[in-house]
Structure 1
Amino acid sequence: MSQPSAPWSRPTPPQQGEQPRRRDPGAQDPGVRNPGAHGLARPSDGGHVPGPVSAPGPISAGTTRTFFYHRLALADRNHRWWMPLVEGVIGVGIYLVLSILFGIAIAFTLPESLSEDVLAMDQLDPAVFLLLFGSVALMLPSVLLARLVLGPRPLGLVFSVAGRIRWTWLLTCLGAAAAVYVVVNAVGIGLDMVTGGGVPQLELAPGFGWLVVLWLVVVPLQCTAEELVFRGYLAQTIGRWLKHPAWAILLPVPLFVLGHTYDVWGQISVGIMAVTMGVVTWRTGGLEAGIALHTVNNMVVTAMGMVGLADMNETSGSPSDVVFEVILNGVYLAIVFWLVRRRPALAVTR
């Protein structure tokens, strides 16, 4: 394998008939297909952690580059550095319009369930449940419509390096996340019973039937929408300007945490989960693993609230909640990394 030229040396000119080669600052070495499974410090330049870099220009014909998920916007020859900023403005505008229309529809059809203080409303009221989760789900069409305007192309690059949702991989990750949550929660309930907590008493929430319908339809859309924004749009926006994946993983975390009204322990737990979803997105080359974890987490929490095993309106946490979150996310992260190694056909770069 040829060695890269030193920054002060003149690159060797191409031989007659040979096409000149360009190397993208964020591109993986073409001979390396999958990133390392044990950390983030394995960029293509041998581990050097760069500072901000300017986005390279359009890709010329005959040039081949390999991109990780957070750098996929550079795969579009027509991309420009300013495009994600305009895309964000368009997305916010679309979201505001959809939110106003959605709020008006809820207010006219279900006015008796709503009060002035949204945070004080009972989240297990079907109308409130629809308002809270549905308003977040509106980010899904907002992001997709904004990306249709400016790109990058194809649209599916926001989902994965394959340019689409990889449904088999998504279902695999859903199964893995569900197994982790069932086992860890079962152990937690068992320990609580052994230490004198007693047998949990089930109590169905009023409007349980409507809640089940919303639980099956709206909650997965809400989780997918958040992943599209925080691990999709924001990560790929940062990836246009900053090469190392750590920037794309960590910089959206504070924004994600601030969107949750918990105390400090709850915020730390949310932050741990956000980092985990960012890491699996980078490692697997798509949003599927993060969507799976997010969806299973929210569906488990809301299901427990619907049967009286959790308080949906609780905003305080404890250090034990953080430990619980570390175990859950650590086990899921290990399983996803193992599954990627076991599935060589799964593309993690483009």
Structure 2
Amino acid sequence: MSPARPPADLPPHDPVIALGGSRQPIRPPESGVAYSAVLRGPDHWPVRSWFGLAFALFGYALVVPIVNQLLNGLFWLIWGQGATFGQWFARATAYEMPQGLVAGHLALATLIPISMVMVVGWHRRPRQFLSSVQPGLRWRYLLLCLPIAAVLLNLVLWIGQGSIPEFSAPHGWWWWVLVIVLCSPLQAAGEEYFFRGYLLQGIGSLSRHRWVGIVASALVFALFHGVQNIWLFIDRFAFGLLAALLVVITGGLEAAIAAHVANNVFAFGYAVFTGSVAGTRAVQAIGPTQALMDVAGFALVALACWWLGRRLKVATTTP
């Protein structure tokens, strides 16, 4: 008599063995669960999430800098004009030239495929559930959230400053505008898919309390922005909290992506006409008033996008 064999649909005992997916099929999440719980289920192993989070952070630290250097190397070969690569790279990463912004933003856009590879290849979930619980990216909702975020963030900025900023057009301004409009949305989406997407779901799979994933993903997001004073840290941490909360209560990344895109496009756009993109890139400190105004703007955007989601009856749990 042959020895007893476990049913084929049981999860493997060692989740690391299933990285290639040969022993575990791709399965949708359980029905009726929130966005942060998409990776949970009967086939979920906590150690899988711990390994997944470690792999994702390692991928961020490895892939993003490599892509940034490769793109800057290509741009240096085309536009270097006698400068050494070290000189070019220093200026490019400081965003003193539009090519540097292209390289930096496209490098961060690689966080989208990194996140999808983790969800599909490691956790064995359909990639569409990374975008929303519907599943898939709800384009109509995203495109309607964009003008809401743009209007509210600008209104709060102008009220906070007491007037509309004065503009002056520098030489080559149209190159900067073109690069910002084309590349900043990809960079913003990349960060949302990674921090409010995979990290939120990965951490959320380890705890049944959704606030654990919301707070932890926001903390990692703020820390990954490098050197900053306490008020700038609070500014970024608050944005991460509100964006993650918005993702959970609307069931997807669309509103958070819209808010992030609007914030970055206008932040860099204003920098072109009121100062310099390099100056905005180099900011490491802000005051409490600016932090308060920024958080107020983010909160208004989150509230408006949540209301819009309710009006559109967007799905907030898996089907």
The reply on whether 1:167 has 2:139 as its aligned counterpart is yes
CA deviation map 1:278-326 (0-9, x unaligned):
1100110011111111111111100001112564133221111122023
The reply on whether 1:217 has 2:182 as its aligned counterpart is yes
Q: CA deviation at 1:272?
A: 1.1
Matches within 5 A, 1:193-342: 200-260=165-225, 261-308=227-274, 311-312=279-280, 313-342=282-311
Residues 239, 317 of structure 1: alpha-carbon distance in 2 compared, 3 angstrom cutoff:
same
Which ranges of structure 2 fall in alignment gaps of 5 or more residues? Answer: 1-23
Which ranges of structure 1 fall in alignment gaps of 5 or more residues? Answer: 1-57, 194-199
2:103 aligns to what?
131
Residues 326, 101 of structure 1: alpha-carbon distance in 2 compared, 3 angstrom cutoff:
closer
Letter of the 1:213 partner, please give it: L
1:152 aligns to what?
124
- Find the residue that maps to 1:153 and give its secondary structure: coil
- Find the residue that maps to 1:143 and give its secondary structure: helix
2:73 aligns to what?
107
Mapped to 1, the partners of 2:111 and 2:104 lie a distance apart of 12
Mapped to 2, the partners of 1:151 and 1:65 lie a distance apart of 17
Match of 1:74 among 32, 40, 52: 40
Larger CA Rg, structure 1 vs 2: 1
1:349 aligns to what?
317
Any conservation in 1 of the 2:92–2:100 contact (CA below 8 Å)?
A: no
- Find the residue that maps to 1:216 and give its secondary structure: helix
Matches within 5 A, 1:31-70: 65-70=31-36
**Deviates further, 135-144 or 121-130:** 121-130
Letter of the 2:188 partner, please give it: C
TM-score calculated relative to the size of structure 2: 0.78
Any conservation in 2 of the 1:114–1:121 contact (CA below 8 Å)?
A: no
TM-score calculated relative to the size of structure 1: 0.71
Mapped to 1, the partners of 2:90 and 2:116 lie a distance apart of 27
Q: CA deviation at 1:215?
A: 0.9
Any conservation in 2 of the 1:281–1:289 contact (CA below 8 Å)?
A: yes
Among all aligned residue pairs of Structure 1 and Structure 2, give the percentage whose two residues are the same amino acid: 24
Any conservation in 1 of the 2:133–2:252 contact (CA below 8 Å)?
A: yes
Q: CA RMSD in A?
A: 2.8
Any conservation in 1 of the 2:92–2:99 contact (CA below 8 Å)?
A: no
Any conservation in 2 of the 1:159–1:232 contact (CA below 8 Å)?
A: yes
2:4 aligns to what?
none
2:20 aligns to what?
none
Any conservation in 2 of the 1:224–1:291 contact (CA below 8 Å)?
A: yes
- Find the residue that maps to 2:283 and give its secondary structure: coil
- Find the residue that maps to 1:82 and give its secondary structure: helix
Q: CA deviation at 1:165?
A: 0.3
Between Structure 1 and Structure 2, how many residues are aligned?
Answer: 280
Q: CA deviation at 1:124?
A: 4.2
